[in-house]
Amino acid sequence: MNNNVMNISIRNEKVSDIQSIHQLTAAAFLDAPHTDHTEQFIVDALRKSGLLTISLIAEDAGNVVGHVAVSPVSISDGTTSWYGLGPISVSPNEQGKGIGSALMEAAILNLKELNADGCVLLGEPDYYQRFGFKSMNGLELPDVPAEYFQALMFSGDLPQGNVTYHESFSATS
pLDDT above 90: percentage of residues in the chain? 86
Tell me the mean pLDDT in the region 95-99: 93
10 has pLDDT over 70 = yes
Cβ–Cβ under 8 Å, residues 34 and 138: no
**Which residue type, as a one-letter code, is found at position 160?**
Q
Residue pLDDT, tens place only, 77-94 = 999 999 999 999 999 999
pLDDT above 70: percentage of residues in the chain? 97
Q: Identify the CATH homologous superfamily for domain 8-170.
A: Gcn5-related N-acetyltransferase (GNAT) (3.40.630.30)
4 has pLDDT over 90 = no
Q: What is the pTM of this model?
A: 0.93
DSSP state of 8: E
Q: Is 122 helix (H, G, I), strand (E, B) or coil?
A: strand
Name the average pLDDT for the chain: 93
**Which residue type, as a one-letter code, is found at position 124?**
E
Closest to 3 (Cα-Cα) out of 81, 101, 78: 101
Tell me the mean pLDDT in the region 62-73: 96
Q: 5 falls in which pLDDT band (50, 70, 90)?
A: low
- Cα–Cα distance for residue pair 103/83, rounded to 1 Å: 16
Q: 9 falls in which pLDDT band (50, 70, 90)?
A: very high
Beta strands 54-60 and 82-90, pairing class: unpaired
Beta strands 54-60 and 63-75, pairing class: antiparallel
Residue pLDDT, tens place only, 110-149 = 999 999 999 999 999 999 999 999 999 999 999 999 999 9
Cβ–Cβ under 8 Å, residues 97 and 56: no
Around 2, how many Cα atoms within 13 Å sit in the side-chain half-sphere? 15
- For residue 27, give Cα distances in angstroms to 71, 77, 117, 162, 172: 21, 37, 32, 31, 16
Task: Report pLDDT for 6.
Answer: 63
- For residue 126, give Cα distances in angstroms to 66, 74, 80, 94, 133: 20, 26, 28, 20, 10
Residue ranges of domains in the chain = 8-170
